[in-house]
Structure 1
Amino acid sequence: MRYSSILHSFGSARTTPVAPRSFAWRVGNDAVRPSTSCLWGLVSKSWKGTRWQHVVAAALLAGACAPFSTTTSLAQAVPPQDRPVLLDRKTAERLLVDNPKPGYPPLAHDNYIQGHVRIRILVNQEGQVAEAHVLRGHPLLAAAALINLHRWRYAPYRTSAGPRDFVTDVEVVFNLRIKDLKSMPTQPEVDFARQVRPPQVLSQPASAGRPDNLPQASSIHIRVLVSEGGKALDVDPAPAFPAKFEGMRQHFAAWTFQPARFGSLAVPWYLEVQVPSEDWPAANGIPGGF
Protein backbone atom coordinates (compact mmCIF):
# COMPACT_ATOMS: atom_id res chain seq x y z
CA MET A 1 0.00 0.00 0.00
CA ARG A 2 1.46 3.36 -1.01
CA TYR A 3 0.48 6.67 0.51
CA SER A 4 1.25 10.22 -0.57
CA SER A 5 3.27 12.37 1.79
CA ILE A 6 1.35 15.05 3.65
CA LEU A 7 3.34 17.36 5.90
CA HIS A 8 2.00 19.77 8.48
CA SER A 9 3.56 21.01 11.72
CA PHE A 10 1.56 21.24 14.93
CA GLY A 11 1.23 24.44 16.89
CA SER A 12 -1.29 24.98 19.66
CA ALA A 13 -4.73 26.12 18.12
CA ARG A 14 -7.97 28.48 17.66
CA THR A 15 -10.43 30.33 15.30
CA THR A 16 -14.15 30.94 14.97
CA PRO A 17 -15.88 27.84 13.54
CA VAL A 18 -16.53 28.07 9.81
CA ALA A 19 -18.45 26.04 7.25
CA PRO A 20 -17.26 22.42 6.90
CA ARG A 21 -14.77 21.63 4.16
CA SER A 22 -13.78 18.43 2.42
CA PHE A 23 -10.80 16.56 3.82
CA ALA A 24 -8.44 13.75 2.99
CA TRP A 25 -7.38 11.00 5.36
CA ARG A 26 -4.25 8.87 5.27
CA VAL A 27 -2.81 6.25 7.57
CA GLY A 28 0.22 4.02 7.50
CA ASN A 29 2.74 2.25 9.68
CA ASP A 30 6.09 3.78 10.45
CA ALA A 31 9.31 2.38 11.81
CA VAL A 32 9.71 2.07 15.56
CA ARG A 33 12.24 4.57 16.81
CA PRO A 34 13.44 5.20 20.37
CA SER A 35 11.45 8.00 21.95
CA THR A 36 11.11 9.43 25.44
CA SER A 37 7.69 10.80 24.50
CA CYS A 38 5.17 7.99 24.87
CA LEU A 39 1.53 8.31 25.86
CA TRP A 40 -0.61 5.51 27.25
CA GLY A 41 -3.86 5.18 25.34
CA LEU A 42 -7.48 4.58 26.03
CA VAL A 43 -7.58 1.72 23.55
CA SER A 44 -7.21 -1.54 25.46
CA LYS A 45 -8.39 -4.86 24.10
CA SER A 46 -8.05 -8.24 25.80
CA TRP A 47 -4.79 -10.19 25.54
CA LYS A 48 -6.83 -13.32 26.14
CA GLY A 49 -5.01 -16.50 25.31
CA THR A 50 -1.47 -15.09 25.35
CA ARG A 51 1.29 -16.06 27.77
CA TRP A 52 2.26 -12.37 27.90
CA GLN A 53 -1.09 -11.53 29.47
CA HIS A 54 -0.67 -14.00 32.30
CA VAL A 55 2.92 -12.96 33.09
CA VAL A 56 2.03 -9.25 33.14
CA ALA A 57 -1.07 -9.87 35.25
CA ALA A 58 0.93 -11.88 37.80
CA ALA A 59 3.65 -9.24 38.03
CA LEU A 60 1.12 -6.44 38.49
CA LEU A 61 -0.79 -8.42 41.12
CA ALA A 62 2.40 -9.06 43.06
CA GLY A 63 3.23 -5.35 43.10
CA ALA A 64 -0.28 -3.98 43.51
CA CYS A 65 0.24 -3.08 47.17
CA ALA A 66 3.81 -1.81 46.76
CA PRO A 67 5.18 1.45 45.32
CA PHE A 68 6.17 1.25 41.66
CA SER A 69 9.81 1.59 42.65
CA THR A 70 9.66 -1.69 44.62
CA THR A 71 7.64 -3.68 42.08
CA THR A 72 9.48 -6.63 40.51
CA SER A 73 11.01 -5.70 37.18
CA LEU A 74 8.91 -6.96 34.31
CA ALA A 75 12.05 -7.13 32.24
CA GLN A 76 13.15 -9.92 34.58
CA ALA A 77 9.67 -11.45 35.00
CA VAL A 78 8.94 -11.84 31.28
CA PRO A 79 11.07 -14.35 29.35
CA PRO A 80 12.48 -12.93 26.09
CA GLN A 81 10.44 -15.37 24.01
CA ASP A 82 7.22 -14.01 25.53
CA ARG A 83 7.97 -10.33 25.02
CA PRO A 84 6.43 -8.47 22.07
CA VAL A 85 8.53 -8.24 18.93
CA LEU A 86 9.44 -4.80 17.57
CA LEU A 87 8.41 -4.64 13.91
CA ASP A 88 9.53 -2.08 11.35
CA ARG A 89 7.14 -0.21 9.08
CA LYS A 90 7.31 -2.50 6.07
CA THR A 91 6.93 -5.72 8.02
CA ALA A 92 3.96 -4.46 10.03
CA GLU A 93 2.32 -2.93 6.97
CA ARG A 94 2.35 -6.26 5.17
CA LEU A 95 0.33 -7.73 8.05
CA LEU A 96 -2.29 -4.97 7.98
CA VAL A 97 -5.67 -6.40 6.96
CA ASP A 98 -8.09 -3.57 7.73
CA ASN A 99 -7.48 0.00 8.88
CA PRO A 100 -10.78 1.93 8.68
CA LYS A 101 -10.40 5.67 8.73
CA PRO A 102 -11.32 7.69 11.84
CA GLY A 103 -13.94 10.39 11.80
CA TYR A 104 -12.52 13.88 11.49
CA PRO A 105 -13.32 15.68 14.79
CA PRO A 106 -15.87 18.37 13.82
CA LEU A 107 -14.32 21.00 16.09
CA ALA A 108 -10.86 20.37 14.63
CA HIS A 109 -12.27 20.31 11.10
CA ASP A 110 -14.11 23.61 11.48
CA ASN A 111 -11.11 25.33 13.06
CA TYR A 112 -8.54 24.32 10.43
CA ILE A 113 -6.67 21.91 12.71
CA GLN A 114 -4.86 19.21 10.76
CA GLY A 115 -1.67 17.19 10.94
CA HIS A 116 -0.03 13.92 11.93
CA VAL A 117 -0.73 11.72 14.95
CA ARG A 118 1.91 9.09 15.63
CA ILE A 119 0.85 6.17 17.82
CA ARG A 120 2.77 3.18 19.17
CA ILE A 121 0.60 0.08 19.27
CA LEU A 122 0.71 -3.43 20.67
CA VAL A 123 -0.94 -6.03 18.42
CA ASN A 124 -1.85 -9.32 20.08
CA GLN A 125 -1.60 -12.82 18.64
CA GLU A 126 -5.12 -12.56 17.21
CA GLY A 127 -4.18 -9.46 15.20
CA GLN A 128 -6.12 -6.99 17.38
CA VAL A 129 -4.75 -3.69 18.64
CA ALA A 130 -4.47 -4.45 22.36
CA GLU A 131 -2.80 -1.25 23.58
CA ALA A 132 -1.95 2.15 22.12
CA HIS A 133 0.14 5.15 23.20
CA VAL A 134 0.21 8.48 21.40
CA LEU A 135 3.76 9.57 20.66
CA ARG A 136 2.80 12.98 19.30
CA GLY A 137 -0.18 14.84 17.90
CA HIS A 138 -2.71 17.58 18.55
CA PRO A 139 -5.04 16.51 21.40
CA LEU A 140 -8.25 16.74 19.36
CA LEU A 141 -6.79 14.57 16.61
CA ALA A 142 -4.96 12.22 18.99
CA ALA A 143 -8.14 11.36 20.89
CA ALA A 144 -10.01 10.64 17.65
CA ALA A 145 -7.21 8.43 16.34
CA LEU A 146 -6.99 6.43 19.58
CA ILE A 147 -10.70 5.72 19.70
CA ASN A 148 -10.61 4.40 16.14
CA LEU A 149 -7.68 2.01 16.55
CA HIS A 150 -9.70 -0.79 18.12
CA ARG A 151 -11.23 -1.34 14.66
CA TRP A 152 -7.89 -2.14 13.02
CA ARG A 153 -7.02 -5.72 12.21
CA TYR A 154 -3.69 -7.38 11.42
CA ALA A 155 -2.79 -10.87 10.32
CA PRO A 156 -1.08 -12.65 13.23
CA TYR A 157 2.71 -12.29 13.29
CA ARG A 158 4.08 -15.83 13.18
CA THR A 159 7.54 -17.11 14.06
CA SER A 160 9.04 -20.60 14.14
CA ALA A 161 7.92 -20.77 17.77
CA GLY A 162 4.35 -19.75 16.95
CA PRO A 163 2.37 -16.47 16.88
CA ARG A 164 3.79 -13.47 18.78
CA ASP A 165 2.54 -10.12 19.99
CA PHE A 166 4.29 -7.23 18.26
CA VAL A 167 4.86 -3.51 18.73
CA THR A 168 5.05 -1.00 15.90
CA ASP A 169 4.37 2.67 15.16
CA VAL A 170 1.51 3.87 12.98
CA GLU A 171 0.74 7.33 11.70
CA VAL A 172 -2.70 8.84 11.16
CA VAL A 173 -2.84 12.00 9.08
CA PHE A 174 -5.78 14.39 9.22
CA ASN A 175 -5.57 16.63 6.17
CA LEU A 176 -7.95 19.38 5.07
CA ARG A 177 -8.39 20.06 1.37
CA ILE A 178 -8.81 23.79 1.24
CA LYS A 179 -9.41 25.35 -2.18
CA ASP A 180 -9.06 28.94 -1.05
CA LEU A 181 -5.76 29.11 0.85
CA LYS A 182 -6.41 32.78 1.65
CA SER A 183 -9.18 31.67 4.01
CA MET A 184 -6.70 29.54 5.96
CA PRO A 185 -5.49 31.20 9.20
CA THR A 186 -1.72 31.32 9.59
CA GLN A 187 -1.68 29.72 13.07
CA PRO A 188 -4.94 27.80 13.56
CA GLU A 189 -3.67 25.63 16.43
CA VAL A 190 -2.35 28.65 18.33
CA ASP A 191 -5.59 30.54 17.74
CA PHE A 192 -7.65 27.60 18.99
CA ALA A 193 -5.51 27.07 22.11
CA ARG A 194 -6.01 30.69 23.15
CA GLN A 195 -9.71 29.99 23.49
CA VAL A 196 -9.32 26.76 25.49
CA ARG A 197 -9.70 26.70 29.27
CA PRO A 198 -7.24 23.95 30.33
CA PRO A 199 -8.30 20.89 32.33
CA GLN A 200 -7.78 20.72 36.09
CA VAL A 201 -7.23 17.92 38.61
CA LEU A 202 -10.33 17.45 40.76
CA SER A 203 -9.21 14.50 42.87
CA GLN A 204 -6.41 11.96 43.11
CA PRO A 205 -5.30 9.20 45.52
CA ALA A 206 -3.57 10.54 48.63
CA SER A 207 -0.39 8.64 47.78
CA ALA A 208 -0.31 10.00 44.24
CA GLY A 209 0.05 13.67 45.09
CA ARG A 210 3.29 15.46 45.78
CA PRO A 211 3.66 16.16 49.54
CA ASP A 212 4.49 19.73 50.45
CA ASN A 213 7.82 18.69 51.97
CA LEU A 214 8.90 16.57 48.97
CA PRO A 215 12.08 17.99 47.40
CA GLN A 216 11.62 19.28 43.87
CA ALA A 217 14.20 16.78 42.60
CA SER A 218 12.02 13.92 43.83
CA SER A 219 9.08 14.70 41.56
CA ILE A 220 8.66 14.57 37.81
CA HIS A 221 6.36 16.38 35.41
CA ILE A 222 3.87 14.17 33.60
CA ARG A 223 1.71 15.32 30.70
CA VAL A 224 -1.76 13.76 30.78
CA LEU A 225 -4.19 13.71 27.87
CA VAL A 226 -7.53 14.37 29.57
CA SER A 227 -10.68 13.30 27.74
CA GLU A 228 -13.78 15.44 27.36
CA GLY A 229 -15.29 13.17 30.02
CA GLY A 230 -12.61 14.04 32.60
CA LYS A 231 -10.60 10.81 32.38
CA ALA A 232 -6.92 10.25 31.60
CA LEU A 233 -6.58 8.90 28.05
CA ASP A 234 -2.77 8.97 27.90
CA VAL A 235 0.24 9.75 30.03
CA ASP A 236 3.54 11.15 28.76
CA PRO A 237 6.18 9.91 29.23
CA ALA A 238 5.29 6.28 29.76
CA PRO A 239 8.08 4.33 31.51
CA ALA A 240 7.67 1.25 29.32
CA PHE A 241 5.31 0.12 26.62
CA PRO A 242 3.56 -2.24 26.75
CA ALA A 243 4.97 -3.88 29.91
CA LYS A 244 3.65 -1.38 32.46
CA PHE A 245 0.73 0.01 30.51
CA GLU A 246 -1.87 -1.59 32.78
CA GLY A 247 -0.05 -0.36 35.88
CA MET A 248 -0.20 3.19 34.58
CA ARG A 249 -3.85 2.74 33.64
CA GLN A 250 -4.64 1.70 37.21
CA HIS A 251 -2.50 4.48 38.66
CA PHE A 252 -4.34 7.25 36.82
CA ALA A 253 -7.77 5.61 36.70
CA ALA A 254 -8.39 6.91 40.23
CA TRP A 255 -7.73 10.50 39.16
CA THR A 256 -10.64 12.71 38.14
CA PHE A 257 -10.32 15.88 36.10
CA GLN A 258 -12.33 18.90 35.10
CA PRO A 259 -12.14 18.62 31.30
CA ALA A 260 -10.86 21.43 29.13
CA ARG A 261 -13.46 23.79 27.67
CA PHE A 262 -13.72 25.51 24.32
CA GLY A 263 -16.57 27.87 25.08
CA SER A 264 -19.28 25.61 26.47
CA LEU A 265 -17.84 22.48 24.82
CA ALA A 266 -15.71 19.94 26.70
CA VAL A 267 -12.66 18.96 24.63
CA PRO A 268 -9.72 16.53 25.03
CA TRP A 269 -6.60 18.43 26.06
CA TYR A 270 -3.18 18.05 27.64
CA LEU A 271 -2.45 18.85 31.30
CA GLU A 272 0.89 18.76 33.10
CA VAL A 273 0.89 17.29 36.63
CA GLN A 274 3.57 16.41 39.18
CA VAL A 275 4.08 12.84 40.35
CA PRO A 276 6.62 11.60 42.97
CA SER A 277 9.48 9.94 41.13
CA GLU A 278 9.24 6.85 43.34
CA ASP A 279 5.72 6.30 41.94
CA TRP A 280 7.03 6.15 38.39
CA PRO A 281 8.53 2.83 37.21
CA ALA A 282 11.64 2.58 35.09
CA ALA A 283 11.56 1.12 31.60
CA ASN A 284 13.98 -1.71 32.43
CA GLY A 285 14.67 -2.54 28.83
CA ILE A 286 11.16 -3.65 27.86
CA PRO A 287 10.44 -3.25 24.10
CA GLY A 288 9.08 0.21 23.52
CA GLY A 289 10.22 1.47 26.93
CA PHE A 290 12.72 4.19 26.13
Structure 2
Amino acid sequence: MTWNEDSGTVSRAFDDWKWNDRENRAFLRLSTQWSDKAYQQTWNEAEESFAARFDPDRHYGDEHLDIFEDAVDGLWPHSYAWITEASVVKNAVTAFEVYLEKALEEALGSALILDGKQHTIKLATPPKFESPGWKTLVSSHKVLGTEVETDEVSWARELRHLLTHQNGVLRSEDALTRFRNQDAERGQDEIDRAHVGGKVPLGVPRVLTILDSLAAVIRTADAPAWALCWSRPRRERWEEVITKLYEQKCIVLVSA
Protein backbone atom coordinates (compact mmCIF):
# COMPACT_ATOMS: atom_id res chain seq x y z
CA MET A 1 0.00 0.00 0.00
CA THR A 2 1.32 3.42 -0.97
CA TRP A 3 0.23 7.03 -0.45
CA ASN A 4 -2.83 7.80 -2.55
CA GLU A 5 -5.01 10.85 -2.09
CA ASP A 6 -7.86 9.53 -4.22
CA SER A 7 -8.26 6.42 -2.07
CA GLY A 8 -7.77 8.31 1.18
CA THR A 9 -4.43 6.69 1.93
CA VAL A 10 -3.04 9.84 3.48
CA SER A 11 -2.02 11.09 6.89
CA ARG A 12 -4.57 12.42 9.36
CA ALA A 13 -2.74 15.73 9.20
CA PHE A 14 -3.36 15.81 5.45
CA ASP A 15 -7.07 15.15 5.95
CA ASP A 16 -7.27 18.04 8.41
CA TRP A 17 -5.39 20.36 6.05
CA LYS A 18 -7.50 19.35 3.05
CA TRP A 19 -10.70 20.23 4.91
CA ASN A 20 -9.25 23.61 5.85
CA ASP A 21 -8.14 24.22 2.27
CA ARG A 22 -11.61 23.39 1.00
CA GLU A 23 -13.21 25.80 3.47
CA ASN A 24 -10.71 28.52 2.60
CA ARG A 25 -11.40 28.23 -1.12
CA ALA A 26 -15.15 28.19 -0.50
CA PHE A 27 -14.84 31.28 1.67
CA LEU A 28 -13.06 33.10 -1.15
CA ARG A 29 -15.56 32.01 -3.80
CA LEU A 30 -18.72 32.57 -1.77
CA SER A 31 -17.57 35.89 -0.33
CA THR A 32 -16.98 37.17 -3.85
CA GLN A 33 -20.30 35.82 -5.07
CA TRP A 34 -22.36 37.14 -2.17
CA SER A 35 -20.63 40.51 -1.90
CA ASP A 36 -21.12 41.19 -5.61
CA LYS A 37 -24.87 40.68 -5.20
CA ALA A 38 -25.06 42.71 -1.98
CA TYR A 39 -23.07 45.61 -3.39
CA GLN A 40 -25.15 45.69 -6.56
CA GLN A 41 -28.35 45.70 -4.51
CA THR A 42 -27.05 48.51 -2.30
CA TRP A 43 -26.01 50.50 -5.37
CA ASN A 44 -29.44 50.08 -6.94
CA GLU A 45 -31.13 51.18 -3.73
CA ALA A 46 -28.91 54.27 -3.55
CA GLU A 47 -29.81 55.21 -7.13
CA GLU A 48 -33.51 54.67 -6.49
CA SER A 49 -33.40 56.68 -3.26
CA PHE A 50 -31.69 59.59 -4.97
CA ALA A 51 -33.92 59.45 -8.05
CA ALA A 52 -36.99 59.73 -5.84
CA ARG A 53 -35.84 63.06 -4.42
CA PHE A 54 -33.74 64.45 -7.25
CA ASP A 55 -34.13 68.21 -7.71
CA PRO A 56 -32.16 69.68 -10.64
CA ASP A 57 -32.05 73.02 -8.86
CA ARG A 58 -30.40 71.55 -5.76
CA HIS A 59 -28.51 68.44 -6.85
CA TYR A 60 -25.53 67.82 -9.12
CA GLY A 61 -26.66 64.34 -10.14
CA ASP A 62 -24.05 62.18 -8.45
CA GLU A 63 -25.25 62.37 -4.86
CA HIS A 64 -26.17 58.69 -4.99
CA LEU A 65 -22.44 58.04 -4.54
CA ASP A 66 -22.62 59.56 -1.06
CA ILE A 67 -25.75 57.56 -0.27
CA PHE A 68 -23.98 54.36 -1.33
CA GLU A 69 -20.84 55.18 0.64
CA ASP A 70 -22.86 55.84 3.78
CA ALA A 71 -24.76 52.59 3.33
CA VAL A 72 -21.54 50.53 3.19
CA ASP A 73 -19.72 52.62 5.84
CA GLY A 74 -17.03 53.51 3.32
CA LEU A 75 -16.16 49.89 2.52
CA TRP A 76 -16.10 49.96 -1.28
CA PRO A 77 -16.11 46.69 -3.23
CA HIS A 78 -12.39 46.75 -4.04
CA SER A 79 -11.53 47.16 -0.35
CA TYR A 80 -13.90 44.37 0.67
CA ALA A 81 -12.32 42.08 -1.92
CA TRP A 82 -8.79 42.91 -0.75
CA ILE A 83 -9.63 42.23 2.91
CA THR A 84 -11.21 38.91 1.96
CA GLU A 85 -8.26 37.88 -0.20
CA ALA A 86 -5.74 38.88 2.48
CA SER A 87 -7.62 36.78 5.02
CA VAL A 88 -7.53 33.77 2.72
CA VAL A 89 -3.77 34.11 2.16
CA LYS A 90 -3.03 34.42 5.87
CA ASN A 91 -5.21 31.44 6.72
CA ALA A 92 -3.63 29.34 3.96
CA VAL A 93 -0.07 29.99 5.11
CA THR A 94 -0.99 29.30 8.73
CA ALA A 95 -2.75 26.06 7.74
CA PHE A 96 0.36 25.08 5.78
CA GLU A 97 2.57 25.51 8.84
CA VAL A 98 0.08 23.68 11.06
CA TYR A 99 0.11 20.77 8.63
CA LEU A 100 3.90 20.55 8.71
CA GLU A 101 3.86 20.31 12.50
CA LYS A 102 0.97 17.83 12.75
CA ALA A 103 2.41 15.60 10.02
CA LEU A 104 5.70 15.35 11.90
CA GLU A 105 3.97 14.52 15.17
CA GLU A 106 1.95 11.82 13.44
CA ALA A 107 4.95 10.36 11.62
CA LEU A 108 7.25 10.27 14.63
CA GLY A 109 4.76 8.95 17.14
CA SER A 110 4.63 9.92 20.78
CA ALA A 111 7.03 7.62 22.60
CA LEU A 112 10.01 5.26 22.38
CA ILE A 113 11.89 2.94 24.70
CA LEU A 114 15.47 4.04 25.36
CA ASP A 115 17.76 2.15 27.76
CA GLY A 116 14.76 0.30 29.05
CA LYS A 117 12.85 3.47 29.86
CA GLN A 118 9.94 5.06 28.03
CA HIS A 119 10.56 8.52 26.60
CA THR A 120 8.12 10.96 25.05
CA ILE A 121 9.09 12.35 21.63
CA LYS A 122 8.48 16.06 21.24
CA LEU A 123 9.39 18.51 18.52
CA ALA A 124 11.88 21.06 19.80
CA THR A 125 10.22 24.39 20.58
CA PRO A 126 11.57 27.80 21.57
CA PRO A 127 11.20 28.73 25.24
CA LYS A 128 7.60 29.60 26.20
CA PHE A 129 6.26 28.42 22.83
CA GLU A 130 4.08 25.37 22.18
CA SER A 131 4.96 24.97 18.50
CA PRO A 132 8.34 24.48 16.83
CA GLY A 133 10.03 27.25 14.90
CA TRP A 134 10.11 27.40 11.12
CA LYS A 135 13.69 26.13 10.85
CA THR A 136 12.80 23.06 12.91
CA LEU A 137 9.88 22.27 10.62
CA VAL A 138 12.01 22.69 7.50
CA SER A 139 14.91 20.63 8.84
CA SER A 140 12.63 17.86 10.10
CA HIS A 141 10.80 17.44 6.81
CA LYS A 142 14.12 17.46 4.98
CA VAL A 143 15.16 14.48 7.10
CA LEU A 144 11.92 12.76 6.07
CA GLY A 145 12.78 13.51 2.44
CA THR A 146 10.97 16.70 1.43
CA GLU A 147 12.20 20.25 0.86
CA VAL A 148 9.26 22.31 2.10
CA GLU A 149 11.00 25.69 1.92
CA THR A 150 10.55 26.26 -1.80
CA ASP A 151 10.76 29.68 -3.43
CA GLU A 152 6.97 29.80 -3.62
CA VAL A 153 6.58 28.93 0.05
CA SER A 154 9.17 31.52 1.12
CA TRP A 155 7.39 34.18 -0.94
CA ALA A 156 3.99 33.26 0.49
CA ARG A 157 5.32 33.42 4.06
CA GLU A 158 6.86 36.83 3.39
CA LEU A 159 3.53 37.99 1.97
CA ARG A 160 1.73 36.71 5.07
CA HIS A 161 4.18 38.71 7.21
CA LEU A 162 3.50 41.82 5.12
CA LEU A 163 -0.26 41.36 5.43
CA THR A 164 -0.13 40.66 9.16
CA HIS A 165 2.42 43.14 10.42
CA GLN A 166 2.20 45.97 7.87
CA ASN A 167 -1.45 45.64 6.85
CA GLY A 168 -0.26 44.89 3.34
CA VAL A 169 1.38 48.29 2.80
CA LEU A 170 4.38 48.33 0.45
CA ARG A 171 6.81 50.49 2.40
CA SER A 172 9.84 50.36 0.10
CA GLU A 173 10.97 49.90 -3.48
CA ASP A 174 12.31 46.48 -2.50
CA ALA A 175 8.86 45.45 -1.25
CA LEU A 176 7.27 46.84 -4.40
CA THR A 177 9.63 44.85 -6.60
CA ARG A 178 9.10 41.71 -4.52
CA PHE A 179 5.31 41.75 -4.44
CA ARG A 180 3.94 43.70 -7.40
CA ASN A 181 1.97 41.73 -9.96
CA GLN A 182 3.26 42.90 -13.33
CA ASP A 183 1.08 40.51 -15.31
CA ALA A 184 -2.07 41.95 -13.73
CA GLU A 185 -0.82 45.52 -14.27
CA ARG A 186 -0.62 45.23 -18.04
CA GLY A 187 -3.09 47.65 -19.54
CA GLN A 188 -3.82 49.38 -16.23
CA ASP A 189 -3.58 53.13 -15.78
CA GLU A 190 -0.60 54.32 -13.74
CA ILE A 191 -2.84 55.32 -10.85
CA ASP A 192 -4.14 51.74 -10.53
CA ARG A 193 -0.70 50.11 -10.41
CA ALA A 194 1.11 49.06 -7.25
CA HIS A 195 3.24 51.78 -5.68
CA VAL A 196 5.25 52.47 -2.54
CA GLY A 197 2.80 53.42 0.19
CA GLY A 198 -0.06 51.48 -1.38
CA LYS A 199 -1.46 48.04 -0.61
CA VAL A 200 0.07 44.90 -2.05
CA PRO A 201 -1.99 43.76 -5.05
CA LEU A 202 -3.83 40.48 -4.56
CA GLY A 203 -6.83 39.41 -6.66
CA VAL A 204 -8.53 36.02 -6.86
CA PRO A 205 -6.22 34.51 -9.54
CA ARG A 206 -3.12 35.40 -7.54
CA VAL A 207 -4.59 34.08 -4.30
CA LEU A 208 -5.55 30.79 -5.92
CA THR A 209 -2.03 30.44 -7.30
CA ILE A 210 -0.67 30.84 -3.77
CA LEU A 211 -3.06 28.21 -2.43
CA ASP A 212 -2.13 25.82 -5.24
CA SER A 213 1.61 26.24 -4.63
CA LEU A 214 1.21 25.51 -0.91
CA ALA A 215 -1.01 22.52 -1.69
CA ALA A 216 1.59 21.09 -4.07
CA VAL A 217 4.27 21.13 -1.36
CA ILE A 218 1.93 19.51 1.16
CA ARG A 219 1.06 16.71 -1.24
CA THR A 220 4.76 16.09 -1.82
CA ALA A 221 5.52 16.13 1.91
CA ASP A 222 2.68 13.87 2.94
CA ALA A 223 3.85 10.78 1.07
CA PRO A 224 7.02 10.25 3.18
CA ALA A 225 5.25 11.43 6.34
CA TRP A 226 2.46 8.91 5.79
CA ALA A 227 4.93 6.15 4.94
CA LEU A 228 6.91 6.69 8.12
CA CYS A 229 3.77 6.39 10.20
CA TRP A 230 1.62 3.84 8.40
CA SER A 231 3.59 1.74 5.90
CA ARG A 232 4.79 -1.77 6.78
CA PRO A 233 8.56 -1.14 6.50
CA ARG A 234 8.28 2.10 8.49
CA ARG A 235 10.04 0.71 11.59
CA GLU A 236 13.34 0.22 9.78
CA ARG A 237 13.52 3.85 8.69
CA TRP A 238 11.84 5.25 11.79
CA GLU A 239 14.86 4.62 14.02
CA GLU A 240 17.17 6.25 11.47
CA VAL A 241 14.91 9.29 11.21
CA ILE A 242 14.60 9.66 14.98
CA THR A 243 18.38 9.51 15.33
CA LYS A 244 18.95 12.19 12.68
CA LEU A 245 16.29 14.47 14.12
CA TYR A 246 17.77 14.11 17.58
CA GLU A 247 21.28 14.85 16.29
CA GLN A 248 19.99 17.98 14.54
CA LYS A 249 18.16 19.04 17.72
CA CYS A 250 14.80 18.95 15.98
CA ILE A 251 13.31 16.74 18.69
CA VAL A 252 13.73 16.26 22.41
CA LEU A 253 13.24 13.04 24.35
CA VAL A 254 11.54 13.48 27.68
CA SER A 255 11.81 10.67 30.22
CA ALA A 256 8.37 9.52 31.32
TM-score class, shorter: under 0.3
Bigger Rg over Cα: 2
TM-score, with length taken from structure 1: 0.24
Greater strand share, 1 or 2? 1
TM-score, with length taken from structure 2: 0.26
